[in-house]
Each structure stands twice: as C-alpha cells, then as structure tokens.
Structure 1
C-alpha cells in the first residue's frame, strides 16, 4: 500500500477537535436551521441567540453541504473584540443555549464532553507512543486493514461527544483500537445443556469451536467432553465474573473458567468487534460508548442469524447485478443460558461475522471507509496517503469508480428488495488495488442496523417470534430516511470532503458525479418518487446527534434535521461558477442536467488550483469568497 504523505490537514489537538465537533453539531442542528450562521471572508460566524453569544472560527475550506473544515481555536465576541474560548467554555455555552431552547436540563452533558476530550487525548498519546508504521514495502494487507480500523482518533465529527465512554483509563489502554490493542480471548467451557446457539448454515459455529483447538495447540486446557467453548471478551468477563448466578454455576461445575488463551485478536473501530485475521467476533461490552451500552440484546442474537437467512437471496442478487458488492453475513451466535438470566444471556452473547477472506477478492487490500474519509491523516488509508501526489483528473476518476460500487446496490436493496442497508462510514470496507489505490469492491457489514420494510417481507417476518421480528423492521419512510442519511450525509458527503481537501475547487464536480449516479439509478428503478425528489435536490435528513444526546434518548430513537441538499443542478452550476470566479476553479462547468462538461475532463486551471490550494495548513478559503451556509443569513 502507498504510505507516503502528501498535503493534508495537520493533526488537530484534542482541544480543537472537541470544539470543532461541537460547532459542527450546532451548525447542523441548531444555528443553521434557525438562520443564525454565516460563512464569509474565511470565517464561520455562529450566534447562540438565547444566551446572546456570537462565536467564530477560521475556515480551511467551505463546503456545499455545510460540512466545513475549521482551523484553530474558537473565539467569542466580547465588547467589540474577539476573545478565544476553550473547548470547555464552548461546551458551557452550548449547554446554556440548549437549556434555554428546550427548557430541559442535562447535567451529564459537560461530563460527557469532558470524557470525549479525554478519549481523544488518550488516543493521540497512544498514537505518539506507538512505533512508526513500517515502510510501504513491509506493510501487509492485514496490517494496512487493521491500521485503518484502529485509526479513528477523533470519531464522528457530527457527534457532540464522539469519544465519550465509561470504563477506566487502564481498561481503555488495554482494549481500545486507537491504542493498537492486541489480546487473547477469555475462554469458558459451558456444559452443553446450558449453551444457547443458532446457526444459519452448517459449520458456521466453527469460528468459535476452533478457538478451543488453538488452546490445545498452545498446551492449554482443552474443552472437556460434554462442554462447549464460549469465548468471551476479557474486559466483559472481568465485569461479569462476580455475577451471583455465574459464580454459582462455576461452583457447581456447570461452567468452567479456562482462562485466557489462543490467538490474539484486535479490536476494530466499534471496540467490541474483534478480528484475528480470519473471523470477526462481535461481543457484548457493558461499556457506554457515545450514547449507548454496547451489548448484543437477546433479540439481536437471534435477529442476526434470521437476517442472514433472509438476506441470502438478496445478497446473491446484488452481487450478481453489481459486481464488486458483497455483504458480510452473521451466520451464528452462541451464549450461555443459566435459567434465563438475561444479563448473562446478553452479556456473554457472541455473534460470528464472516471474515474478510469469505468475500474480499484475492489481491485486494481492505480499508475501512471511515479511515479513508478521515479529516486527518491518521493512517495510510486516509485519502491523502492512499492517493499521494495525484491531480484532479485522478481524484475524479477514483470518485466515479467508488460511486459506481457504493450507490447502486444500496438503492437496489431498498427499491427492489425492501431492505434498508446502513452504509455509514464505519459499516463499509473498501477493497482497493494495492498498486494504485483504485476501489474495486465494497463490503457492507454489521446487520444490527439492517432493517426490512414490512410489506416486502410479511410472510418471513410472521414466521419469526414477535420479539425478534419487530426490531428487524422500519416503515418505508423511516427506512428511506435512514438510507439517505447513511449513504449521502454520513458517507458520500464525508468522502467528498476528504477529496475536496485535496483540491478545493473540485467539490461541485464531485457532487455532480453523485447526481449523475442517482439520475442513472432513478431511471433504472423507473423513477420512484422518493428518488426523483432526491435528484431534484429536496432537503436531506441528517441525524440529530446533539439534540438526541441532549434529550438523553437512546440512539435508536434519534431524529433527523433537514439540511439543504447540494444536488440541485442550479446550486451546482452556481458553485462551479463561484469556484472559477474566486480563482479556485471547479472541475469544469456543470450543465443543467447536472453533468460535468467534458465527460470527466478537468481543466488545466483546476490542476493549478489543486496545486496552489494547499499550504502547510492544508487547503484554504479565499478571503474574497462569500459562501452562505444553506439556511443561514448574512
């Protein structure tokens, strides 16, 4: 994999990253919709009208979808002058504004922001303490993949507390992906009659049973006859080992504590899903990360296996129609059932997910999409390092290839099969050509967020227990919002941002390419009204992470705010014109049909702008450019 660096944003501090994520959320969910923000002369100015505060922050680059790139500290206007405010002071002002706006108090908000800041600080320190990455020639595909999974130092930039978490600092240093953790599993042997398991196909549980074979090879205690091996996350076992029901079962010999052993696993971006290079194992972890405790609910254990069965023909159809698209199945789970004790059923439930080798084409290198789209070069997967020293033509070609892999199967799953995939950045793995970084394949993962539209699957859902079937469904409109949010707002918009950081004038052409793919898919699906409206540029649903966190609602009850879409052809034409007028040209003009003139050719002026648009701090915003955030006032 190419690992050399190229111009990109320098690494942020935890102070600035915390402040910038708070501003992102304010802009998207509060100040933008209330028309209390403006982008002009290289600054974002944002008002908190109820507490009478005016804030500003410098811009590295303005964005057509309002996902701007900030730089430096946040300042507050006091007595006609600008004074810097710390991340904690900013959080206090956000807390005050939201309390006045909603009439609701949230006394844990500041602590959660502080926890997130501490998480970022720890991640940056751990990265600094780890040895330098090997040279490109010495980096294996497995190393590159794990590095991408473990590179998300700052988390979701539109979440107010992206690294908030419970648990001790020592535990996080041992088990966090950002710390580069590797560790063996803790193993229990459970008498057969106390094991609960399901599988969608023969051999699916071998991923769990082979851990016992590894123990035997290492000279450790084997699993006795009449018992089944139950691997556990060592952190989870430490939290549950004193449970009275488990202690009693251990005392009676119904459960045997075999201790740690076997192959080492590495935590992926979700923290609780572990990978040993062969299998993914998704464990419960009674730790709160951002909004929720990360556990496999009882219904999710059976639901993963049920979905794997139901989605097999869907996945096969999508793979046949859209070569380069694959779904990682979750064909089995196992847990222990000691008299129906729910805390133990859920706490020790482990879901088997297919490893990369089951679906990844030979010779490709897998990279987490979130790492490729990261704002900062935290790993060799980030776009500035994946595609070093390339110009706008190459960036545009990469983007067209990626869109053709990503977008069609997601829309076909919804319109043809009534399946709501959840292709946000942490749920997509990209298979790239190691020679030049070209995307060749996308793998969709994590069935927890995959849902079924009931009218498409009535018979299959009726055959399941109601407690399992109900959480597997979304009504059609809710499902469409989820598809659009995950696909366009969370994923495509962030990848556009990463590419536009390389060449600021390219953003209108990147969105034109998105519109081109959506137009093609609309025609392929006989122009369904929802997709026709999307192409026309109706507002897009954006998950309201700040307001959800403030209301202390569970993540599954999160609502959406509507943000202005960059897909309208008139907006794209105007944006391309503004880019040219401000000497940061776009990649050609955009026609009324939303296509880039010249069939993907990028002008010589754009090449010069791409080269000139990067200083030591990354791409800049022209002081003469006046770009109004959608829905804001000047």
Structure 2
C-alpha cells in the first residue's frame, strides 16, 4: 500500500476541483457505505471500486495536502478530476443508487474548473477594492469546499467575468423607468430613487445588465411603453453571491434576480420571496431588538422593500430588485465588517490569505473563543426563544473586527434563507404561498441551523485557525466552542435538541453532490450524518 508514487503536476484550478469533489465523495459516497478509513497522515476511500488516498489536515474540514492518488497495479498514481468524476458516476448510478444517470454532471464539474482558471487569470491583472469588506466579499476564488461544481455558472467566461465578484468586477447598473401604472413595489424603496432620475409619471428601476441581456426577448414588447431604458447608471460592485451588488454612492446593497444557475440554484427573486423579504423585515425588527439587548454584538441587514414592473410573473420576478442595508450602516464606528467565508480561507490552497490572520496567529484560542461567542449564541437564541431559523453559513454572516482584528460583532443577512418555525407565528392574512415560503417545521429548521452554523461555518473557520497548530490546537478549539454552546444551553434552560448536540449527536451535512446529481432544487437537499466535534 505504500508503494511507488508516480508524480505529476496540475493547475491550481484542477487541484481545487479535485479536492472539492473528493471531499464530496468522502462525505456522501464512500463515508455512508463504510468505505473510508483513516490512515494518518492519509485518508483512504474506495470510490467506483478504486482505492484512493489523500493527505489531509483540518479535521472535518478535510483540507488536502498534495494531489490525491489512486492505486493501480501496486503503485499510487496521481488522480485527476476527470477520473474522479467517472468513479463517482459509477457509484451514483450503480446498484446502491437509484440507477438514474446525469449527462450534465461531468460538464458541470469541468465548467467549474474552467471558471476557477478564468478567475485566477482575471485576478492576476486586477486589483482588489480598497473597501476591506468588499475585498473580503470578492476573495472566494475556489468556492464551497464541499460542492462538486462550486464555480459553475451559465454563459461563457468572457460574459460572466465582467460581473463576477472574484474577478474584482465593477460595472454600471442599467437604469429603467417603469410607468407608475405598471409599478410593483412594497415597503421602503427610497434608496432606489437616489440612483438617478426618472421621467415624470415613472419610477426608477435599476437592473443588472447581465439579467437584461438574459431577458432581452421578453423585454422587447414593454420597452418604449411601460418601460423606458434610461441607459447606464452608477457603478456597483458585486458581492459574494454574484447577484447582490453594493452601490457605494447610495450606501445600499441591491439584490437582483439573475436567471443563472450558480452552484445549486437559478438565482431568481420569486414573487413570494419579494413579498416575504418585506414581511420578514417587519416581523424581525422587534425580535432582533430583543436579541441585541442580550447579545450586544448582534446585527442584521434589513430588506425593507422591493420594486419591479407588474408586467406578468416572468418580468415581475425577472426585474425584481430587493433593497438591502449596507453592513457599514449597522456596524459600530471603528468596526470593520468582513465576510466570514474570507476568514475561513485555506492559507495553503493557493488563493488569498484569510482575513484577520495576524490576530488569529497571535492568540488562536482567544480569537476563536471570542468568535464563537459573538456568532453562535444569538443564532441559538433566535431559534429557541423566538422561533426564527437563520442560515448562518459562511456567506450569510459578516464578522465585525475591531482595530486589533478581534471579532466584536456578527452581522446576519439574507432573508431568503431566514424562516419562521411553523406553529410559533401567526401568519394569518398572508398569501398561502408567501406563508409557506417563510416557514420550516421545527425539525427541518434545527437541521438547517446546525448544518449552517457548525458544519458549513465553524468547522471551516476552526480549520483555518488551527492551520499552524495541528490536531492538538484543533481539539482545544472545539473544547472552547463546546463551553460556549453549553453556557448558552444553560441560559436557555437546555431545550431539546440542544442537549443532544452537546452529547455528541451526529451533525447533518448538506448533500450537495446528491442534490446536484439529482438535479433537484436546493430546498430539496438532504443531509448525511457526520461526526460532531463538540462531543
């Protein structure tokens, strides 16, 4: 088993693609079938009948050193992403699966690899923004570490790199004017009127230029009638979600529809999501006031209104834009908001260095304990005390760093993923589809909270903090995290299932490989159990 290794070189894009798919295979294919074996410093696994090995670090984060390998005739040979795709396909359509094929899967993995390569080429000749928060939003070169095609998106690279956060893109909005009798809006959208000037009898409707290209045929009958194209507007910068941009001049964020599949979803503002954002903003104001009184570092980004054109469901959704507060408006003076995902970057992966690195290295255990204390307790309080399900994954949380680089505030965002626990809120009077989209049952809501907070978020940050300290430091980090969770459990009266979590119940890990193979909606994604580092 420790025989000859035949070397090879590969590109950073290939290495990142291979690593992400291998992690998915460990978690969703080989692991549930008992075909993963620790063999320090390697992990061994069998996929599609072939024995593979990878040198790992970072515990449950499964960060890799070097190129994974496959065993062939007594020799370890470098594995390629194309080979791993074929092995994974064998498993996913084999006798232990449902037998269904997915002719798109290999192309999506390859497209993601080519997207990473295009991003790296663009970043080599562009400069990050001076705004440290925006720079953190645009630092996610390799994407979700447990997704088979984290950077796959529609369109060719020449098209989407003009709008990609990872390429440090900056582009002008397109301004439309919608006739007032065709206006669809709800809530406070005054921030939109600061972006330009509409003709008399019209209201300003900003649009993402990429989306306008995608809607060109459907828009043509309305232009010159209910809609007028006013031309380019102010410059904006895309944030990590691609479709949400920051308009610095107006001091606001704008969440557009974008009929493009990014990771698992086509990123469109459905009509019930437009209405739901405004409804949740109204309902959650008093809730966050109460949570902030208990945890003073807690912040959230309101989505007070939306605007669109009432020209049929397709254009209502396609042109819908949600106003979202800027994190600079909610953070305290001297506190710098940084995307949590940028704090979790793998320093050995070849991309940008993680933010807050100096403070992490000076006192990793103290930094981490402060981080968990700022981020985790309000999420638990919102769920158990208020029946609110946040999705506190790495791209939905901004962490406010003080001048010493220490975490002081947690900013939660994206009301699309925020839900209310069914039965704990009076939703009478809401359209049934809006009410349905706003709710999770308690079991599903808890699974979502635990996955986003522990598996997607804290596990990745812990791996970065422990990068130079090894396994012993990682164990210390999780002992400290457990103490924070236990203290909050005591304060809440130890409501179930929180004691189960502290007792070591397996964690639910979202099955991104499975949902992509099944071509299902992200909302339909299942979970696989993984080891609980709090145990």
TM tier, smaller: over 0.9
| Residue 74 of structure 1, aligned match among 32, 55, 68 | 68
| Residue 431 of structure 2, aligned match among 465, 470, 489 | 465
1:257 matched residue in structure 2: 229
Q: Measure the CA separation in 2 of the matches of 1:180 and 1:187.
A: 22
Q: Summarize the alignment of residues 105-144 of structure 1 with structure 2, pairs less than 5 Å apart.
A: 105-131=101-127, 143-144=131-132
1:614 matched residue in structure 2: none
Q: Measure the CA separation in 2 of the matches of 1:170 and 1:527.
A: 53
Paired residue secondary structure (1:287): strand
1:88 maps onto 2:82 in alignment: yes
Paired residue secondary structure (1:154): coil
| Residue 320 of structure 1, aligned match among 293, 307, 313 | 293
1:276 maps onto 2:247 in alignment: yes
Q: Summarize the alignment of residues 473-622 of structure 1 with structure 2, pairs less than 5 Å apart.
A: 473-504=439-470, 505-568=472-535
Q: Measure the CA separation in 2 of the matches of 1:477 and 1:254.
A: 46
Q: Which has the higher contact order (CA 8 A, sep 6+)?
A: 1
| Residue 285 of structure 1, aligned match among 258, 261, 269 | 258
1:452 maps onto 2:420 in alignment: yes
1:413 matched residue in structure 2: 382
Structure 1 residue 120 displacement after superposition: 0.9
Paired residue secondary structure (2:430): coil
Change (3 A) 1:363 1:381: farther
What is the TM-score when the length of structure 1 is the normalising length?
0.80
Q: Measure the CA separation in 2 of the matches of 1:379 and 1:22.
A: 21
1:225 matched residue in structure 2: 200
Please tell me whether the aligned partners of residues 305 and 323 of structure 2 are also in contact (alpha carbons under 8 angstroms): yes
1:148 maps onto 2:136 in alignment: yes
1:387 maps onto 2:359 in alignment: yes
1:347 maps onto 2:318 in alignment: yes
Deviations 1:11-39 (A, max 9, x none): 98111111111111111112122221122
Please tell me whether the aligned partners of residues 148 and 379 of structure 1 are also in contact (alpha carbons under 8 angstroms): no
Over aligned residues, Cα RMSD in angstroms?
1.6
Please tell me whether the aligned partners of residues 207 and 256 of structure 2 are also in contact (alpha carbons under 8 angstroms): yes
Paired residue secondary structure (1:228): strand
Please tell me whether the aligned partners of residues 189 and 229 of structure 1 are also in contact (alpha carbons under 8 angstroms): yes
2:275 matched residue in structure 1: 302
2:393 matched residue in structure 1: 424
Change (3 A) 1:418 1:41: closer
Q: Measure the CA separation in 1 of the matches of 2:372 and 2:126.
A: 35
Q: Measure the CA separation in 2 of the matches of 1:186 and 1:381.
A: 34
Structure 1 residue 249 displacement after superposition: 2.4
Deviations 1:284-307 (A, max 9, x none): 011111121111001000000000
Deviations 1:557-614 (A, max 9, x none): 001111111222xxxxxxxxxxxxxxxxxxxxxxxxxxxxxxxxxxxxxxxxxxxxxx
1:58 maps onto 2:29 in alignment: no
Deviations 1:239-265 (A, max 9, x none): 11221xx322224x321110112x210
Please tell me whether the aligned partners of residues 147 and 379 of structure 1 are also in contact (alpha carbons under 8 angstroms): no
Deviations 1:47-67 (A, max 9, x none): 12xx321111223x251xx32
Structure 1 residue 77 displacement after superposition: 0.9
In the comparison of the two structures, how many residue pairs are matched? 519
Paired residue secondary structure (2:221): helix
2:4 matched residue in structure 1: none
Q: Measure the CA separation in 1 of the matches of 2:163 and 2:117.
A: 16
| Residue 183 of structure 2, aligned match among 187, 190, 195 | 195
1:626 matched residue in structure 2: none
Deviations 1:131-170 (A, max 9, x none): 4x6xxxxx85xx2111110010000001111111111211
Deviations 1:44-95 (A, max 9, x none): 21112xx321111223x251xx322212222111111112221111111111
Please tell me whether the aligned partners of residues 367 and 381 of structure 1 are also in contact (alpha carbons under 8 angstroms): no
Please tell me whether the aligned partners of residues 423 and 483 of structure 1 are also in contact (alpha carbons under 8 angstroms): yes
Please tell me whether the aligned partners of residues 340 and 394 of structure 2 are also in contact (alpha carbons under 8 angstroms): yes
Q: Measure the CA separation in 1 of the matches of 2:315 and 2:16.
A: 38
Q: Measure the CA separation in 2 of the matches of 1:359 and 1:185.
A: 24
Q: Measure the CA separation in 2 of the matches of 1:28 and 1:447.
A: 29
Please tell me whether the aligned partners of residues 383 and 499 of structure 1 are also in contact (alpha carbons under 8 angstroms): no
1:46 matched residue in structure 2: 45
Q: Summarize the alignment of residues 137-216 of structure 1 with structure 2, pairs less than 5 Å apart.
A: 143-199=131-187, 204-212=188-196
The 10-residue stretch of structure 1 (79-88 or 300-309) with the greater mean CA deviation from structure 2: 79-88
| Residue 410 of structure 2, aligned match among 414, 439, 442 | 442
1:13 matched residue in structure 2: 12
Which structure is larger by alpha-carbon Rg, 1 or 2? 1
What is the TM-score when the length of structure 2 is the normalising length?
0.94
Q: Measure the CA separation in 2 of the matches of 1:12 and 1:431.
A: 35
Q: Measure the CA separation in 1 of the matches of 2:136 and 2:42.
A: 32
1:215 matched residue in structure 2: none
Paired residue secondary structure (1:367): strand
Please tell me whether the aligned partners of residues 432 and 441 of structure 1 are also in contact (alpha carbons under 8 angstroms): yes
Q: Measure the CA separation in 2 of the matches of 1:469 and 1:554.
A: 19
2:36 matched residue in structure 1: 37
